[in-house]
Copies of this chain bind each other. A is one copy, B any other.
């Protein structure tokens, strides 16, 4: 039988709780659809620092490398915030992206009908918002040379932002491919009026666009994009941008949907391998109380089914189950209007499994 290997990284904070519910969904998928999954757990982030002295242990990387996909909960927390760079969970995140060649981060941001009111934007502005931010994930200022030096004006810190043609071309192609399966609109975001990397970015995107005449391309400056996301969110289809701008804009886009506890993300490389994780963080303030929302992590499994395994029917089943449970009025505390009626993490997971 075709057994799919999934590396499971529970991580820190609410990570273990939400991942546990996602694993129940995996199990239920086996029963319902006859697929087979082999999961292997690995330490990563803060817990790996505590137990192994490094956020990304060798073994964890090996487990991921021998898997077909990775499911990640969340990493980080105040406990490790003041550690030196090598002993910080974020360093593990950057390391795993680079080591696994995950150059593309896909972040769908859309509105759950029944949660429209959760957004701080007016419902009529949000209406129809359904966009994907495609963020370059292994280049730019995140991975360029960094150092300090002494100057006449005191110590100076330097970060370097670099992009080469190949890096830009592969992410641009991926964004065009995704746009082609959707509303066929691509907004490429840069700061070409100031940055050399952005000018190269724009040149390459324009060159690649010749292969996608069916996709309408617009160039948007990053400052303007931050505004337009607020003014006309529903007019965007696919947004492609470099690492740092993508970090900022994908969070802005997620927040404006009002559904940040519900959004999944995928980090992809060449081929079908991918790392899947909820957009929300480790929420250390509510960890261990059994009240966190497992939906984003469960939907990350659905995204894995679609993008890595091609199990579309199973993905449909999960997404429908989530919609059904929400439509029936069930809410975890983060999305409940009446907090006194909120249900817990396990109850929510069970309802979704039952509805599949």
Contacts and interface: CB of A to CB of B under 8 A. Distances in A.
Interface of A: 88, 90, 94, 120-122, 125, 141-142, 144, 146-148, 151, 153-167, 169, 191, 193-197, 199-201, 222-224, 226-227, 230-231, 244-245, 247-252, 254-256, 260
B148 A196 contact: yes
Contacts of A194: 90, 94, 141-142
A164 B156 contact: yes
B231 A251 contact: no
B153 A141 contact: no
Contacts of A161: 141, 158-161
Nearest to A169: B154
Given A122-B122, A146-B196, A147-B196, 16 more contacts: A90-B193, A94-B194, A120-B121, A120-B122, A120-B230, A121-B122, A141-B141, A144-B158, A154-B169, A155-B200, A158-B160, A159-B161, A223-B247, A226-B251, A227-B255, A248-B248
Given A193-B90, A196-B148, A154 B164 contact: yes
Nearest to A162: B158
B167 A162 contact: no
A157 to B, nearest CB: 4
19 contacts: A90-B193, A120-B231, A121-B121, A144-B158, A148-B200, A153-B164, A153-B166, A154-B164, A154-B165, A154-B169, A156-B162, A158-B197, A159-B195, A161-B161, A222-B248, A223-B248, A230-B252, A230-B255, A230-B256
A227 B247 contact: no
A194 B244 CA distance: 10
A153 to B, nearest CB: 4
Given A125-B120, A248-B248, A157 B255 contact: no
Nearest to A255: B227
A227 B252 contact: yes
Nearest to A228: B255
A321 B223 CA distance: 31
Given A90-B194, A94-B194, A199 B157 contact: yes
A244 B161 CA distance: 13
Contacts of A144: 158
A213 B167 CA distance: 47
Contacts of A160: 158-161
Given A121-B121, A125-B120, A251-B224, A164 B159 contact: no
A157 B120 contact: no
Contact of A155 (B120, B148, B164, B222): B164
Given A164-B151, A195-B141, A197-B159, A254 B227 contact: yes
A94 B194 CA distance: 9
A169 B156 CA distance: 12
Contacts of A121: 120-122, 230
Contacts of A244: 191, 244
